[in-house]
Structure 1
């Protein structure tokens, strides 16, 4: 496989970060062999890194976050370009900070739909971390969202979605013809304690269950 070379603007990174990014590029290269070459993978990986570098306060995790986000974006691009046809519906949950509402919705959707559908999330102004009260409220339902992270949305991710659910991002939410859109009016859990987040969580659970029914997805879990 062709060696991945860090672009010039990333040469001020530490040696550990450079090694981590090269490892990430190699992982993605093997995963998308036959679909995308080194140049495309580098472009997605490093643009993903740049997006997180502007908002993250934990630089040691940036290469890992960049790899995860680049993988999602490349998977989305493959769907947009018709390289991936598994027939699974794709749902994208969008809110402002991608730290509360959209993450809880994603957690419920993944829990109930299992591997019968694909769910992603994003934010117009991604925060630094998932809302602690949202994490605690979801844990009460037996759903762990601590493995998620706030992230922006990109054109290929939105274009790959069959359904885009917006929650409070207003005019910032992208609109593409041919995509089904739903706007869920819900309070923002930012700054609220667990007691105040529970009604938002319960409302989201009802809405997600309804959406899964509408999409004809047999619930993987009750």
Structure 2
């Protein structure tokens, strides 16, 4: 990994899970990690329940927009974390791939999204500790 590791979070619509994960890592890493997110079939907007759930945690993702997954985004990342996009993520030698089994928040209300948000935070904290060697 480079001096500043890079992580790409990928889910189907880049509207919920990957947006929350990217926001958590950006917030918790405080500039120590380059963070990207993308989707294999991007939605039109970030899931409003995800926006609300993250706002409750003090993180604003209301201005984020879903982005298409590109081979370049994977190539430029040290770690690619998939969240339910199956085999649509391109595979390159030398990259590390993780798959986080997380419920899709699409179409769910805030009550259902909160535990997903909290699970993502726990996974991101573990990943950040591993790649930076620092306790969170």
TM-score, scaled to structure 2: 0.95
Question: Are the aligned partners of 1:113 and 1:217 in contact in 2 as well (CA < 8 Å)?
Answer: no
Give unpaired runs (5+ residues) of structure 1: 1-85
Q: Which has the higher contact order (CA 8 A, sep 6+)?
A: 2
- Corresponding residue for residue 35 of structure 2: 119
- Corresponding residue for residue 165 of structure 1: 81
Structure with greater strand share of residues: 2
User: 1:177 aligned to 2:103?
Assistant: no
TM-score, scaled to structure 1: 0.59
For 2:123, which of 201, 204, 207 is the aligned residue?
Answer: 207
Structure with greater helix share of residues: 1
CA RMSD of aligned residues (A): 1.3
Partner Cα distance (1:193, 1:174) in 2 = 32
SS of alignment partner, residue 126 of structure 1? coil
Question: Are the aligned partners of 1:123 and 1:150 in contact in 2 as well (CA < 8 Å)?
Answer: yes
Q: Give how far 1:98 is off.
A: 0.1
Once the two structures are superposed, the pairs formed by residues 62-141 of structure 1 within 5 Å of their partners are 87-141=3-57
SS of alignment partner, residue 215 of structure 1? helix
- Corresponding residue for residue 191 of structure 1: 107
Partner Cα distance (2:14, 2:107) in 1 = 14
Give unpaired runs (5+ residues) of structure 2: none
